[in-house]
Amino acid sequence: MEAESVISAGEAPPKAERREPAGPAVNEGEYEVIHSKSPVFYDLYERKTELKQQTHYCPGCGHGVVHKLIAEALEELGLQDKTIIVSPVGCSVFAYYYFDVGNVQVAHGRAPAAATGIKRACPDKIVISYQGDGDLAAIGTAEIVHAANRGEKIAVFFVNNAIYGMTGGQMAPTTLVGQKSTTSPFGRRPENEGFPIHMAEMLATLEAPAYIERVALSDNKNIMKARRAIRKALEIQKNGSGFSFVEILSPCPTIWGKDPVEARKWVLEKMIPAFALNVFRDRIPSVPKIEVPQRSVTEVLELGAEVEENSTSAARHVHHFKDVKIKIAGFGGQGVLLLGQLLTEMGMRESLEVSWLPSYGPEMRSGSAHCHVCLSKDRIGSPLVSQPDVLIAMNEFSLRKFAPEVVSGGVILYNGATLPADFAAPAAQVVAIPAAEIADKLGSTKAANIVMLGALLEETECLSSGTAVTVLEDKVKKVELLEIDRKALSAGRLFIDDQAHLGAVSQPDGFA
Ligand SMILES: Cc1ncc(C[n+]2csc(CCOP(=O)(O)OP(=O)(O)O)c2C)c(N)n1
Ligand code: SF4
């Protein structure tokens, strides 16, 4: 982009525009016209295959102007080296071609979510979410509303040109009533397409945002206001004050079928009356602090000693494996997901890398549910378990469905007195455990999952039963239930032990 200076000959340049004259000396009191671009832009746009001197924006496009205003504000505030711009899909998808700052290009509508993550991970950085109206007000509505509602300390620059530019002119949520687009060829009709969405006003209903303003690129005066608004949003972030949102009414001459001058006029005469220019919010949000109960020093020391003791005994367990992948499946209500969580909690306490991935239907009870659990000495690449070493099948349906996935030499623990007669066992160790029956006799059928946990620990020795007890003690608050769970854990272990003595299952030797 050739950013052209606004200084004319004979006129004193404002401070930000003062440059050493590059050309021949001029007479005192005279100034030469300076053409330059902010150092926040690359000198040459190397990522472009051709025309490395200029952007891909159409003549008169608002994106070019907004880019210039952002670059100048970053330069003036000395923020270039701290800035990360997140640009999603739309005509500005290649913003990273131009800005010599940190850049992240994200999926359509997702910039506020990505910006949230970046800002929280790097609070010292200046994070900008740069979005069009199709991106921010259509596919990305949820992201912007929730980022604003959380008061994320980011600056959002919302380029509203009332149309989908990149894809050739479909109706946007901000398309004006009566405005023609390829998907509203007779003009937007509120009775069919609804009214234009006023994002600035909508976000101003939320408590958290610090600054919300709508500006326009209709004429030089308004462009200067836009410049101030963009700078202010960045200053707010620099000061750590909160969420800023600047909506910029922008021309899109190409899709509107106008020349650049007519397009600016259209912003002035049509867009501004429909989208009032205003400062909708300008205050530092007051965020109430919720007190977290403080433990006394004695309590902390006691707790620390207990944790230390538990973690030392948990760490003592020898893991005979590099990693173990477990799938647990059954009906909702059988404690399938909870069993997975207990295993991951145990793994963490034994200093393993862990992951837990649940998968369940919409029903709270009796729908099918399963979860994937990984325990590993190394970092886990994917939490998905498609070839489990161990399957815990809490019902026949799950046994039949997932048994074929189990690796050769793996283990299948089935919650049932016997295996179904026609079940063709794969090349794995299959053990039927009447877990529900055992749990029932102990006082609660619900503890069948803990019987299976005991069986798993005894059969595979993947984790220590001591860790299981400490985890249960921490998680189960009802004394009677905890007692049943302790017995269920022991019962599961004993069952496998007895089977081993009878020669029905192999001796536990852990995983290779
Ligand atoms: C998931 C997904 N859905 C749809 C698209 C197609 N698409 C690309 S850009 C765009 C709209 C962009 O409009 P806007 O955000 O207003 O930006 P402009 O091009 O006008 O600057 C759409 C729908 C896409 N790339 N990805
Ligand atoms: S189509 Fe519109 S928004 Fe896209 S670059 Fe051209 S003028 Fe800009």
Burial 425-436 (b: 16+ CB within 10 A, else e): eeebbbbbbbbb
Give 37-94 pLDDT, tens digit per residue: 899 999 999 998 888 989 999 999 999 999 999 999 999 999 999 999 999 999 999 9
- Residue 440: Cβ-neighbour burial (10 angstroms; 0-12, 13-18, 19+): middle
pLDDT in tens, 403-438: 999 999 999 999 999 999 999 878 999 999 999 999
| 287 pLDDT tier (thresholds 50, 70, 90) | confident
245 lines ligand 2 (CB under 6 A): no
Please give the distance, rounded to the nearest whole angstrom, from the Cα atom of residue 183 to the centre of ligand 1.
14
pLDDT at 268 over 80: yes
Q: What is the per-residue pLDDT for 9?
A: 32
Ligand number, closest to the Cα atom of 92: 1
With 70 as the cut, is the pLDDT of residue 511 above it? no
**164 CA distance to ligand 1 middle (Å):** 6
Phi/psi of residue 84, nearest 5 degrees: -125, 120
DSSP 8-state secondary structure symbol assigned to residue 13: P
Q: Which of 329, 373, 365, 369 is nearest to 347 (CA)?
A: 373
- Report CA 362 to chain centroid distance, whole Å: 23
Question: What pLDDT is attached to residue 81?
Answer: 97
Of residues 401, 399, 400, the one with CA closest to residue 414 = 399
Domain spans, the chain: 1-36, 42-282, 297-501
Domain spanning 297-501: CATH 3.40.920.10: yes
For residue 1, name the pLDDT band (cuts at 50, 70, 90): very low
Higher pLDDT, 157 or 364: 157
pLDDT recorded at residue 313: 67
Cβ–ligand 1 distance for 172 under 6 Å, the answer yes
**DSSP secondary structure string, 130-193?**
EEEHHIIIIITHHHHHHHHHHT-S-EEEEEE-SSBTTTT-B--TTPPBT--BTTBTT-B-HHHH
In the block, residue with structure tokens 């769970």: 485
Ligand 2 geometric centre to CA of 213 (Å): 23
Shortest-distance Cα residue to atom 10 of ligand 1: 90
Distance CA 55, CA 172 (A): 24
Atom 1 of ligand 2: nearest residue by CA position: 165
What does the pLDDT average to over 483-503?
90
Mean pLDDT for 92-110 is 97
User: What are 110-133's pLDDT values in tens digits?
Assistant: 999 999 999 999 999 999 999 999
Residue 503: its pLDDT value, please?
67
Q: What is the pLDDT of residues 186-221, one digit of tens each?
A: 999 999 999 999 999 999 999 999 999 999 999 999
pLDDT at 507 over 60: no
Q: Which ligand 1 atom is at minimum distance from the Cα of 89?
A: 9
Query: Rounded to the nearest whole angstrom, what is the distance from the C-alpha of residue 135 to the centroid of ligand 1?
Result: 6
Question: What is the 73 CA–ligand 2 centroid distance (Å)?
Answer: 23
CA of residue 108 to ligand 2 center, whole Å: 17
* Residue among 65, 136, 166 to mutate when testing ligand 1 (max atoms within 8 A of CB): 166
State the average pLDDT over residues 325-341. 95
pLDDT band for 32, please (50, 70, 90 cuts): confident
Q: Which residues contact 114 (CB under 8 A, 6 or more apart)?
A: 86, 104, 106, 129
- The third-level CATH classification (topology) of the domain covering 42-282 is Rossmann fold (3.40.50)
Q: What is the mean pLDDT of residues 441-452?
A: 96
Question: Percent of the chain beyond pLDDT 90?
Answer: 78
What's at 162, amino acid-wise?
Answer: A
For the chain, how far is it from start to end, CA to CA, in angstroms? 61
Listing DSSP states for 189-214 in one string gives -HHHH-PPP-HHHHHTTSSS-SEEEE
